[in-house]
Amino acid sequence: MRRGLLLLSTLLIVLAVASVAGANKPTREIIPGQDDVVFPAEQCGFEVLGHIEGGEIITTFTDKAGNFVKEIVVFPGNKATLTNLDTGKSITIPVTGSASVRLQSDGSVSYRATGHGLFAPNPVTEEPGIWYLSGRGTYTVDAEGNLTSFPAATGKLVNLCARLAP
């Protein structure tokens, strides 16, 4: 039993050292703010201004040759204010969480977002609207950029257009 535990521990250390040896130090970029966006009337039937308070932190990982491996983006403490540009009616919601992009060995790329985020249109059905996801969304594309896994969302997905309607 102790011998098996020692072998397992040694193997884990070797794997950890090997993975570090095959990669560059990750780069980290802090973006203090984001530009406002206007969602077109096709989404809700009226234009909506989206304003995000808070920044994002982007960490990019590359291999020894400098090739992209993965990227992790975090949105700590962010808030979004959505405003109906016809009426001035607005709502403020948290948009905190993380997103990651990972290059797979076959050249495909997987995407994952976790936490609270906005999507327009619906990330699963492509139905128009401004959708608020509290949970996780995922999808994968092949090396040519073709969707290979149907976008999936777990958690709560709500269309905010009704809350902004006149």
Residue 71 one-letter amino acid: E
In a domain, 70, yes or no: yes
The model carries a pTM of 0.76
Task: Tell me which long-range contacts 2-10 makes (C-beta under 8 A, separation of at least 24).
Answer: none
Q: For position 22, what pLDDT does the model report?
A: 60
Under 8 Å CB-to-CB from 68, ≥6 apart: which residues? 60, 61, 62, 103
If we measure between CA atoms, which residue out of 78, 112, 103, 106 comes closest to residue 92?
78
Tens-place pLDDT, residues 112-134 = 999 999 999 998 899 999 999 99
If we measure between CA atoms, which residue out of 55, 51, 42, 53 comes closest to residue 130?
42
Q: For position 153, what pLDDT does the model report?
A: 86
In a domain, 131, yes or no: yes
In a domain, 19, yes or no: no
Assess contact for 151 and 126: CB atoms under 8 A: no
Question: Does the pLDDT of residue 69 top 90, yes or no?
Answer: yes
In a domain, 4, yes or no: no
Q: How crowded is residue 23: how many other Cβ atoms within 10 Å of its Cβ? A: 13
Range name among 21-25, 68-72, 92-96, 123-127 with the lowest pLDDT average = 21-25
Sign of CA dihedral 40, 118, 35, 59: negative
In a domain, 103, yes or no: yes
If we measure between CA atoms, which residue out of 88, 114, 120, 85 comes closest to residue 101?
114
Q: Count of domains in the chain?
A: 1
Domain that holds residue 123: 24-164
Question: Does the pLDDT of residue 11 top 80, yes or no?
Answer: no
Under 8 Å CB-to-CB from 27, ≥6 apart: which residues? 59, 60, 62
